[in-house]
Amino acid sequence: MFLNMKLLAHHSLNGFGGMGEGMSMQLAKDGRRILWLAHESAPKNFTAVDVTDPRAPKVVVQTDLPHAQMRSNSLEVAGDLMAVAYQVTKFGLKPAGFELFDISEPERPRSVSFFDASGPHSRGCHQLWFVDGKTVHMACADPELKPRNPKDDQIYRIVDVSSPARPRAIGRWHLPGTMEGDDAPPPQRLPANFDAGFRAHNTNVYPQRPERCYLGYIDGGIMVLDISEPSRPKLVSRWSNSPPYHGFNHTVLPLFERGLLLVSDESVRDNGADWPKLVWILDARDERHLVSISTLPLPPVDAFKGRGGRYGAHNLHENPPVPGAWKSETVVLGTFFNGGVRAYDISDPYSPREIAYFVPPAPEGSKIGAVQINDVFVDDRGIVFTVDRHAGGLYALEMNV
């Protein structure tokens, strides 16, 4: 299934093609383009793929996790330094936090340090943002805090890694009312079948506005935070679509030149059970007053919900402010599980148009009989890289729009 996208190459990553939501490109000193990928689940930690020739991707290294009750899920590369998130399946397990690697030799990643966030109420780090080589912004539990509800464990944390061997926590923020000792009352939870938690997900910070964090907060909506004083982040504004929608706000992508925010939900239920899960466009000209003006048009749910697995929004290409990444404020790309990877023209933000998509066939080894496209990264050559959540591995695509 395709429109204006052509498959250049598909790599099943040596049979470990279940990929998470960490995709980051290293422009290696020897001229190679190395795409670093986090795995969805054990046994693999991360895989590096040489995509210099996108028609012939080559695995250069693939690493293992220390045990099966954890996952890496998220990673980011800044120069020759890579941060990898570690989340455990049960509270109290280790390692929970993130690890920094020196990847100056892509074939031989070398551990530089580990930031420990383990604790009796911690599952560690689910997602991190690391683009300046100095600061990790992440969704991670803080062992100093005890959530009132265990689903609310991961908060927004800021870690200074300007001395990579000695990561140092410098700030944190959580939704008031979610932790023991908070003055605020606990938040009103979504109905039990949609209650995913009030916790942080994506934690985007851009050089265009370094004093702002754009934070997805699962069932809590999205937050714009003032982080001009990292030790004391302050809430600027909050926007939520749930209820009546079904929560799980995932990513906030600011388009600074246009005064817009893109907000993705995440579909977390199979067969369209939590539909609609959408990408929302917000008018953010006044950052204190966010207004929803449209959503990206998706094919009708009845055509996809029966194909297997999830159908609906998830990750966006986040215009990462790093060399080698494609940046656009008019064309945005997202992943939609069995709806594939899709590109939209948002020149008119009130009337976004679907301009390209690619939905691979069910990958070999898929237990659900359908692809589950999980994440997307576009490089500055316009090559679209996307991954399957369960088995398919990496797809390299050419987009013609």
Provide the binding-site residues for other proteins, judged by CB under 8 A.
1-4, 299-300, 303-304, 307, 328, 330-331, 343, 345, 347, 353-356, 359, 400-401
Closest approach of other proteins to the CB of residue 302, in Å: 9
Output 64 or 348, the one with its CB closest to other proteins: 348
Reported as type and span, the H/E element at residue 303 is helix 301-304
Output 208 or 330, the one with its CB closest to other proteins: 330
Closest approach of other proteins to the CB of residue 256, in Å: 17
Closest approach of other proteins to the CB of residue 247, in Å: 27
Closest approach of other proteins to the CB of residue 355, in Å: 3
**In this structure, what token pair is assigned to residue 61?**
């290294």
- 256: helix, strand or coil: helix
- How far apart, in whole angstroms, are the C-alpha atoms of residue 50 and residue 34? 5
Diameter over CA atoms, the chain: 56
Closest approach of other proteins to the CB of residue 359, in Å: 7
Phi/psi of residue 258, nearest 5 degrees: -110, -5
Output 227 or 359, the one with its CB closest to other proteins: 359
- Count of beta carbons in the 10 Å neighbourhood of residue 114: 15
Contact indicator for 230, 170 with CB cutoff of 8 Å: yes
C-alpha closest to that of 152 among 124, 181, 178: 178
Output 236 or 355, the one with its CB closest to other proteins: 355
DSSP 3-state helix, strand, coil percentages of the chain (rounded to 5)? 5, 45, 50
Output 48 or 356, the one with its CB closest to other proteins: 356
Closest approach of other proteins to the CB of residue 401, in Å: 4
Output 3 or 61, the one with its CB closest to other proteins: 3
Residue 387 half-sphere exposure toward CB, CA atoms < 13 A: 31
